[in-house]
Amino acid sequence: MASNLGVRSAYGVLSASNLVTPGAWVVTFPPAVLPASEFECWHGAIRGPGGYFLVYLDDQLYGVGENGLINEYAPPTAMYVRQGQAITLHWSIATGTAPTAWLYFRQPEVGRL
């Protein structure tokens, strides 16, 4: 069984670098706040202003949240993240209150590296 590496939370900011809608909300989990070695993101909870959001691993699209108001992010397969990579969530809207995301991490399961 994979070892739990805990949960991290982050708040959104309006950003011109939003890959869905420039100027809309982006929640960023930079490498500095993530576990120090390879890990998996296996679960998340998201509360936001509405719309929808896309999940990126660095600049590669990884997942979709169809409900940007309140959502449980549960990828069918845990997202494998290498040291130095960032996870970002890009909202489709720039109105409402700043989104908050909680992501849960664990060590990679045996045989997944």
Q: What is the pLDDT of residues 39-96, one digit of tens each?
A: 999 999 999 999 999 999 999 999 999 999 999 888 888 999 999 999 999 999 999 9
Q: What is the pTM of this model?
A: 0.92
Contact 89, 26 (CB under 8 A): yes
Rounded Cα distance, 61 and 97, in Å: 24
pLDDT at 36: 83
Residue 113: which pLDDT band, with cuts at 50, 70 and 90?
A: low
Q: How many CA atoms lie within 13 A of 45 on its CB side?
A: 4
Length reported for the chain: 113
pLDDT at 90: 98
The more confidently predicted of residues 111 and 9 is 9
Contact 41, 112 (CB under 8 A): no
Contact 43, 35 (CB under 8 A): no
| Phi/psi at 64 (5° precision) | -135, 140
Look at strands 53-57 and 87-91 and give their pairing: antiparallel
Tell me the longest C-alpha to C-alpha distance in the chain. Answer: 43
